[in-house]
Chains A and B, each alone.
Chain A
């Protein structure tokens, strides 16, 4: 395994939670004359040339996102850090914030300089209280050292960072839902347009970026943008923090360049599959379509390759599944998850995810019936592109792909019902005496 440049995880295990250690490791070097002499436009151009793409899952080019933010609109510009990491299999932000909170702060100062932002909010999911403690400690140190607050390092630039604790809603990872949550409303996604870059939090321009995206900025600014761009694929620069979980020897967080072959990630970084033979890989978190062992053998971990294989790169969260597992059980997990996390706004998602979960439960309980799988596939057809946010497709997609690729697992479960082939009697439901 070749030595890889570590952009975000270089300080792991070095005690960089303390500002002195972080500074010794080269931290806050960017918050200097070099940054202060740059104009907003130059800095955004710099990030655009680095080819950095959002690391939250959608993979939107960061520089382009920033260039959409209207300048001199008379309204404040907000930066919101999306640390509401909740997708099954993703846990990089948790460790990034625990191990290196100062890098996030440094990255935020750079981003704020580029966007002219006065206040930034780090939206951390409620379960990550240790991360919030780590961030608050780091913020106290950064304020004491003069990196934050009024007139930073003697310039006219003022900037404050606030940590906002979420309270348990997966959907707040969607940027408009996150903004709603920040505004003290229910975390339900908004209709678009207007996009947050134009009218987001409190109707002001708002840039929502992932933790890892922001944490890549200090390295990019220290080096040449082309150096960062060179590390990845032509359309997405840099390294990526991969989360590998499931049936591997060493699950954990690994940083590798984009475009690394999937089997390299599994075998060399994570120590190989344990407990059986490789059955399937979810390459980008729980909501993506699984790859079979044959497909995984040829896949590389980047946006384009995985898109071409009808799955997605997402947040780079690989879940490795060995052949001792039945895919129905795992799909039932997802049914449980997504029907629980639907925000209850759009009809297909609100009622449909719950219905899918009930059908899946029946199959797992051995009460499945011929035609259930076809019905599920048909119901998922009703999800496609009709809801405000993609949560319904996050369940609809896997239902479609699991049933297509691992149909035998479903048939095995349905066969457990002795009456699975009997025609069902359609009983009319009559309400009781109360109506």
Chain B
């Protein structure tokens, strides 16, 4: 019960963030560690700012 509530909550938070153009931070950190160990891992704040800027650069990201 508790586990399923946790997974629903995780799903809701991840969806809500993605709807705002912010992908999963943990996934990104994991990706960096595995594939680009030479790069600096950004803090969540840096990551968030970069994504916020990126969301509104070009592309038609929304509908009428």
**Pairing of A with B:** no
